[in-house]
Structures are given as structure tokens and as C-alpha cells.
């Protein structure tokens, strides 16, 4: 199979047209949110992150999953994925593109409040006992994980 991913960071999916992809020889199916029985959810907090963005659903990040093309080979699936037409209203409107922008906007998933990195006072005390403390910033031009910002 091959995933169809969002090509914008934000927006509302208004239509997913899989007809051209389904017409390609070797394509068995194109799976979308409409094909998911039950809850279309894949995050730590049920309902917060969708497995596939549905029609009418909001895109939360670049590269978010919209559909999966199932075919007789990887090459056929990859070719067919390019034929899945996804209409997006308001593409990249209000997109947050840097960590600094995300912090400034206090942008996070609601479920983030349910997680903890530990007691902040214990962390401060451990740093105070340390012989050396390094401070600064590092910026990475990309990531391989799912961003937790909206």
C-alpha cells in the first residue's frame, strides 16, 4: 500500500475523490476515513488524532494521513496515490511553522495536559546539583514523528 498525505499544514478537507486511482489497473481499493468502522482515532487521547482525515475534517499537520491505496504492488499503489484528488478549503491558513510560533500561540493538543514529564521542582533541584548545565537552542529542519502542535 501507499499513503495519501496532506500537502498543507492546515485546512478543512472538503472532498476526497478516489475514482481516478481506483480506475488504475492493479488497484484493489482506496481506504479513507469513511471505511473505518467505529472510532477513526489513533492518538493517545481517543478522538483527538484521526487515523485518516475525513471529508469535513481538519488537517492538523503537513503529511497527515488522508487515505491508503491498496494495490497489487508498491509501485502501482504509489502511482495511484498521485491520482487521489483531495480538495482542501483554507490550505495553510493560520499554519504554525516554527516551535517559537507554537509556544507563542500556546498551541497544543488538548490531551497534552493529560501527560506529565515529571515534577518541575525535582528537575530544577537536580540541575542545581549538577556540576555542569548546558543551555541553548537547537533547530532541526524536519522531523520524523507526528507533531503535537495544531
- Integer Cα distance of 70 and 32 in angstroms: 11
> Helix or strand or coil: residue 65?
strand
For the full predicted model, state whether its pTM sits above 0.75.
no
CA 49 to chain centre: 8
pLDDT 10s per residue in the chain (150 long)?
999 999 999 999 999 999 999 999 999 999 999 999 988 988 777 778 899 999 999 998 889 999 999 999 999 999 999 999 999 999 999 888 777 888 888 887 766 566 566 677 888 888 899 998 888 877 666 555 555 554
- Integer Cα distance of 57 and 113 in angstroms: 23
CB 50 within 8 A of CB 42: yes
Residue 26 DSSP one-character state: T
> Helix or strand or coil: residue 16?
strand
Residue found under cell 484528488: 85
pLDDT for the residue 146: 52
DSSP string, 78-145: HHHHTT-EEEEETTTTT---SHHHHHHTT---GGGGG-----HHHHHHHHHH-S---------S--SS
Question: Cα angle at 111 between 57 and 87, to 5 degrees?
Answer: 15
Amino acid at each position: 500500500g501507499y499513503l495519501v498525505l496532506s500537502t498543507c499544514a492546515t485546512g478543512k478537507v472538503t472532498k476526497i475523490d478516489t475514482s481516478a486511482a481506483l480506475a488504475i489497473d492493479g488497484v484493489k481499493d482506496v481506504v479513507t476515513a469513511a471505511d473505518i468502522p467505529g472510532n477513526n482515532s489513533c492518538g493517545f487521547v481517543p478522538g483527538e488524532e484521526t487515523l485518516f482525515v475525513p471529508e469535513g475534517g481538519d488537517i492538523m499537520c503537513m503529511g497527515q494521513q488522508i487515505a491508503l491505496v491498496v494495490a497489487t504492488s508498491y509501485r502501482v499503489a504509489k502511482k495511484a496515490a498521485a491520482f487521489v484528488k483531495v480538495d482542501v478549503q483554507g490550505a495553510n491558513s493560520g499554519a504554525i511553522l516554527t516551535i517559537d510560533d507554537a509556544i507563542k500561540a500556546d498551541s497544543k493538543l488538548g490531551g497534552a495536559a493529560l501527560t506529565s514529564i515529571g515534577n518541575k521542582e525535582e528537575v530544577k533541584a537536580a540541575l542545581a546539583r549538577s556540576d555542569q548545565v548546558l543551555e541553548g537552542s537547537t533547530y532541526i529542519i524536519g522531523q520524523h514523528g507526528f507533531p503535537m502542535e495544531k
